[in-house]
Chain A
């Protein structure tokens, strides 16, 4: 096995608390790299596409990568890959920080967990040795409290990934949390919860060597230097929340369950206004030089409380997606309510996009008289917070909403599926598809559903390459390119916030991979690798029962213009043509 890899994955049976070290052939890691790619390959090898994702036999993979443990900025990341209980299709979510480093030091390139523990347990992996410990003292605890208690119990050198109460109760969009970051989308927390694993604690001492350590250092220094430049200024200075006012200005900010593209209270949720009203600190993931995290104190003004919001329960890390989903999408302009909602989602361990999307859908159902929950109204921050608590406990209406918007619509019926904001069951992120039509294609064909992290097609819409409100077949090539780039970055692994730093990401990635592994890898090989990884995800979905009619958008988005923008009209015929061309080009590339 080349440097950068251990050459093994750890296959753990949660039912018995035992582990097997399974060799990983070099050809497999060269073809799928790590992270999402390796996870997809391992899932296919386990034959899990036909399994119920919450059944004991369904595997969940924690995959590291050859760059994890290197000084290359943003490389301390891991992917969680499984069949999604929300979509019944493949799901890969990524998170950052020390868990990736400590997990790889356990002497493995991935951890595959199958089986179901006899009782709620903590899976402890100590330098490759595996045991189950009781989790009674953390049952029902929030993600941050679970990490804190387990570090106190096991020792501060352990790194812990955990689920919150929502994962224990199989909310279909429950997350796996580590160090305040979340493997957020698609319900991997419910999969771990179904195995009665409350948390995974890892520590280890097994380091991988690099083929050319001097070159790795040179490349790392260069990349870090560039990561301080203008390409990442947005993330450092304002964070992803920058998008909110921009999107509102362009009429592409999803509002009140996608009934509009502008929100009259958007200014309240802008990063400038958030910072003016409360204390703010910045932080970074481990081994990251960008520092995109903007952490706001909830309920404290710049003049009132002192202390570090990051270490305080009052501090909440805010991203654009959370602000959109829990703000404009639910019609809530009260920034304190939105920040508290984001914080509660993090504590309960639920995906903010799916939470906001499902609640916004329910609010519209109430508005239309389809759901008898008169308290749940657009614009009511207290009602949104109440709904979040009910989802986390799966009580009352929370039992239905914990299923996600597609399943909720199937139960409510009466035409509500037409405005359930989802593709393949995954709630749509904060990009209005009618006004961003290359992104609309990216959403429709995404292997894990509507997804801004696996398709960066919105970038194309915000460029001179296409007409964002009139996509043509030329848009397809661009959508494929962003999908391929994401597959590469999610498998190497590097943070996508670096993407603007690269002139030719395939050439630069091949240089990094050469220095780490010693492979004579080229840019062209990595292009083929990225396509292979996308194809593996599609292959999993085909085996899981995917059909072409899943690649679409809800009726709401088709054949009717966005109310605030008559030019933003996407016809079903046009979308179908884009999708057909996408599959034609994908087939040609494979």
Chain B
């Protein structure tokens, strides 16, 4: 799947996007935490810190680590505390 970072996740990952192989949201987040230690502060137990959010294909915000992901999916990881 394609993973795109916005806001703080992009700062911490140091890249705007990448390709990743993962079957579930929890797996994807665990892989990202291992690959980008600075992002790991925001990931625990297959879930994101509440200050970040995961969105699928620009449509649906998802939180369940068991949520299945497809190769064709576009996963966005962004700062959730929008506003100001």
Q: Which residue from chain B places its CB closest to the CB of A319 in the assembled complex?
A: B84
Q: Are the C-beta atoms of B82 and A246 separated by less than 8 Å?
A: yes
Within 8 Å of chain A (Cβ to Cβ): is B58?
A: yes
- Using A246-B7, A319-B84 as known contacts, say yes or no to A231 and B79 having CB atoms under 8 A apart: no
Q: Which residues of B sit under 8 angstroms from A230, Cβ to Cβ?
A: 41-42, 49, 51
Contact with A along B55-68 (1 / 0, CB 8 A): 10010111100000
Q: Are the C-beta atoms of A463 and B58 separated by less than 8 Å?
A: no
- Using A233-B51, A242-B79, A319-B84 as known contacts, say yes or no to A250 and B58 having CB atoms under 8 A apart: yes
**Told that A230-B49, A249-B4, A464-B62 touch, could you supply 16 new A-B pairs with CB distance under 8 A?**
A231-B49, A234-B81, A240-B83, A242-B8, A243-B84, A245-B6, A246-B7, A246-B78, A247-B82, A272-B11, A320-B84, A462-B82, A464-B61, A464-B63, A500-B50, A500-B81
Q: Which residue from chain A places its CB closest to the CB of B54 in the assembled complex?
A: A464
Q: What are some 27 contacts across the A-B interface (CB < 8 A)?
A: A230-B51, A231-B49, A231-B50, A234-B8, A234-B51, A234-B79, A235-B84, A237-B11, A238-B11, A240-B84, A246-B78, A246-B79, A250-B58, A272-B11, A319-B84, A320-B83, A456-B83, A458-B82, A459-B81, A459-B83, A463-B61, A463-B80, A464-B61, A496-B83, A500-B50, A500-B51, A500-B81
Q: Which residues of B sit under 8 angstroms from A251, Cβ to Cβ?
A: 58
Instruction: Determine how close the nearest CB of chain A comes to the CB of B43; give it in whole angstroms.
Output: 10
Contact with A along B6-40 (1 / 0, CB 8 A): 11100100000000000000000000000000000
Alpha-carbon separation in the docked complex, A243 to B80 (Å): 9
Alpha-carbon separation in the docked complex, A452 to B7 (Å): 20
Q: Are the C-beta atoms of B60 and A464 separated by less than 8 Å?
A: yes
Q: Which residues of A sit under 8 angstroms from B51, Cβ to Cβ?
A: 230-234, 500
Range class of the A interface residue count? 35 or more
Which residues of chain A from 470 to 509 have any CB-CB distance to chain B below 8 Å in the complex?
A: 496-497, 499-500
**Looking at chain A's contact residues, is the secondary structure mostly helix, strand, loop, or mixed?**
helix
Contact with B along A242-267 (1 / 0, CB 8 A): 11011101110000000000000000
Q: Which residue from chain A places its CB closest to the CB of B6 in the assembled complex?
A: A246
Instruction: Determine how close the nearest CB of chain A comes to the CB of B50; give it in whole angstroms.
Output: 6
Instruction: Determine how close the nearest CB of chain B comes to the CB of A44; give it in whole angstroms.
Output: 29
Within 8 Å of chain A (Cβ to Cβ): is B1?
A: no
Within 8 Å of chain A (Cβ to Cβ): is B69?
A: no
Q: Which residues of B sit under 8 angstroms from A247, Cβ to Cβ?
A: 82
Q: Are the C-beta atoms of A249 and B53 separated by less than 8 Å?
A: no
Instruction: Determine how close the nearest CB of chain B comes to the CB of A400; give it in whole angstroms.
Output: 30
Q: Which residues of A sit under 8 angstroms from B62, Cβ to Cβ?
A: 464
Top 4 A-B residue pairs of the complex, sorted by shortest distance between their CB atoms = A240-B84, A464-B61, A242-B7, A234-B79
Q: Which residues of B sit under 8 angstroms from A240, Cβ to Cβ?
A: 83-84
- Using A231-B49, A463-B61, A500-B51 as known contacts, say yes or no to A238 and B8 having CB atoms under 8 A apart: yes
Instruction: Determine how close the nearest CB of chain A comes to the CB of B41; give it in whole angstroms.
Output: 6
Q: Which residues of B sit under 8 angstroms from A497, Cβ to Cβ?
A: 81, 84
Within 8 Å of chain B (Cβ to Cβ): is A321?
A: yes
Alpha-carbon separation in the docked complex, A156 to B33 (Å): 50
Q: Which residue from chain A places its CB closest to the CB of B52 in the assembled complex?
A: A230
Q: Are the C-beta atoms of A234 and B60 separated by less than 8 Å?
A: no
Q: Which residues of B sit under 8 angstroms from A319, Cβ to Cβ?
A: 84
Q: Which residues of A sit under 8 angstroms from B41, Cβ to Cβ?
A: 230
Which residues of chain A from 441 to 481 have any CB-CB distance to chain B below 8 Å in the complex?
A: 452, 456, 458-459, 462-464, 467
Q: Which residue from chain B places its CB closest to the CB of A250 in the assembled complex?
A: B58
Cross-chain contact of A243 among B49, B50, B76, B82 (Cβ < 8 A):
B82
Q: Which residues of B sit under 8 angstroms from A464, Cβ to Cβ?
A: 60-63
Q: Which residues of A sit under 8 angstroms from B8, Cβ to Cβ?
A: 233-234, 237-238, 242
Cross-chain contact of B80 among A235, A238, A245, A462 (Cβ < 8 A):
A462
Alpha-carbon separation in the docked complex, A232 to B58 (Å): 24
Alpha-carbon separation in the docked complex, A336 to B36 (Å): 34
Q: Which residue from chain B places its CB closest to the CB of A252 in the assembled complex?
A: B82
Q: Which residues of B sit under 8 angstroms from A467, Cβ to Cβ?
A: 60
Q: Which residue from chain B places its CB closest to the CB of A429 in the assembled complex?
A: B83
Which residues of chain A from 268 to 307 have any CB-CB distance to chain B below 8 Å in the complex?
A: 272, 292
- Using A233-B51, A234-B51, A249-B76 as known contacts, say yes or no to A243 and B60 having CB atoms under 8 A apart: no
Instruction: Determine how close the nearest CB of chain B comes to the CB of A115; give it in whole angstroms.
Output: 36
Q: Are the C-beta atoms of A234 and B53 separated by less than 8 Å?
A: no
Alpha-carbon separation in the docked complex, A233 to B41 (Å): 11
Q: Which residues of A sit under 8 angstroms from B76, Cβ to Cβ?
A: 249
Q: Which residues of B sit under 8 angstroms from A239, Cβ to Cβ?
A: 84
Q: Are the C-beta atoms of A458 and B84 separated by less than 8 Å?
A: no
Q: Are the C-beta atoms of A459 and B82 separated by less than 8 Å?
A: yes
Q: Which residues of A sit under 8 angstroms from B78, Cβ to Cβ?
A: 246, 249, 462
Alpha-carbon separation in the docked complex, A452 to B82 (Å): 10
Instruction: Determine how close the nearest CB of chain B comes to the CB of A589; give it in whole angstroms.
Output: 24
Alpha-carbon separation in the docked complex, A467 to B7 (Å): 22
Alpha-carbon separation in the docked complex, A313 to B42 (Å): 38
Q: Which residues of A sit under 8 angstroms from B60, Cβ to Cβ?
A: 464, 467
Alpha-carbon separation in the docked complex, A251 to B6 (Å): 14
Instruction: Determine how close the nearest CB of chain A comes to the CB of B73; give it in whole angstroms.
Output: 16
Instruction: Determine how close the nearest CB of chain A comes to the CB of B80; give it in whole angstroms.
Output: 6
Instruction: Determine how close the nearest CB of chain B comes to the CB of A443; give it in whole angstroms.
Output: 13
Q: Which residue from chain A places its CB closest to the CB of B79 in the assembled complex?
A: A234
Instruction: Determine how close the nearest CB of chain A comes to the CB of B74; give it in whole angstroms.
Output: 11
Alpha-carbon separation in the docked complex, A278 to B6 (Å): 22
Q: Are the C-beta atoms of B7 and A238 separated by less than 8 Å?
A: yes
Q: Which residues of B sit under 8 angstroms from A238, Cβ to Cβ?
A: 7-8, 11
Q: Which residue from chain A places its CB closest to the CB of B11 in the assembled complex?
A: A237
Q: Which residue from chain B places its CB closest to the CB of A436 in the assembled complex?
A: B82
Q: Which residues of A sit under 8 angstroms from B49, Cβ to Cβ?
A: 230-231
Alpha-carbon separation in the docked complex, A500 to B48 (Å): 13
Alpha-carbon separation in the docked complex, A238 to B79 (Å): 11
Q: Which residue from chain B places its CB closest to the CB of A503 in the assembled complex?
A: B50
Which residues of chain A from 531 to 583 have any CB-CB distance to chain B below 8 Å in the complex?
A: none
Q: Are the C-beta atoms of B61 and A462 separated by less than 8 Å?
A: yes
Alpha-carbon separation in the docked complex, A319 to B55 (Å): 25
